[in-house]
């Protein structure tokens, strides 16, 4: 083919590709793609690998950041998983923050700052708590008033701190 025919053919192909979704080729020409799919470029595998490395670096279980590669999630209940997460991932940070906030230049002398994660993030479900309270009542370790206080209930009509609101 002469050079002018090749240039005309390429120009027609480029114009057709810019203006239409399809273009026509003759039987003597063939088209080879020059782009790669995300699967060919291994984007998914790379993102899973990086997520797993971040989980390892931050000492966080991989399933908590959706790093499916090398998923080592075991069968455990939610509270056990949370306890493990707090113990292995968050505890160093919690201790550092508590220690700093407990220093005399931030809080009054003799006061200690502590996170109450046991009553929120690590709190067991209602049935388990009630079973434990029932056993303690049966053994005489606590009375009904103490049991109500454990569940943040107002004992015998007295206002508790949790029920007092400032307007």
Token pair, residue 120, equals: 């929120």
Taking the whole predicted model, whether its pTM rises above 0.85 is answered as no
Q: Which range among 28-32, 56-60, 82-86 shows the weakest confidence by mean pLDDT?
A: 28-32
The pLDDT assigned to 100 comes to 93
Q: Is residue 124 part of a domain?
A: no
Helix then strand then coil, % of the chain, to nearest 5: 55, 0, 45
**Considering the chain, what percentage of its residues have pLDDT values greater than 70?**
77
Question: Within 13 A of 137's CA, how many CA atoms are on the CB side?
Answer: 13
Question: Which of 21-30, 65-74, 86-95 is the most confident on average?
Answer: 86-95
Q: What number is the average pLDDT over the span 23-34?
A: 73
Q: Is residue 79 part of a domain?
A: no
**Structural domain boundaries enclosing 47:** 35-73
Q: Is residue 143 part of a domain?
A: no
């Amino acid at each position: 083919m002469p050079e002018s025919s090749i240039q005309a053919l390429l120009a027609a192909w480029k114009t057709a590709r810019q203006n239409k979704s399809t273009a026509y080729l003759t039987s003597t020409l063939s088209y080879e793609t020059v782009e790669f799919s995300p699967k060919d470029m291994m984007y998914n595998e790379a993102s899973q690998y990086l997520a797993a490395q971040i989980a390892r670096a931050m000492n966080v279980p991989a399933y908590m950041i959706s790093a499916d590669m090398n998923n080592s999630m075991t069968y455990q209940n939610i509270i056990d998983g949370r306890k493990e997460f707090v113990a292995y991932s968050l505890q160093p940070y919690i201790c550092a923050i508590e220690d700093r906030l407990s220093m005399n230049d931030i809080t009054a002398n003799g006061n200690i700052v502590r996170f109450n994660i046991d009553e929120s993030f690590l709190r067991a479900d209602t049935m388990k708590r009630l079973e434990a309270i029932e056993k303690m009542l049966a053994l005489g370790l606590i009375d009904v008033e103490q049991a109500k206080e454990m569940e943040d209930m107002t004992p015998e009509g007295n206002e508790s701190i949790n029920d007092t609101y400032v307007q």
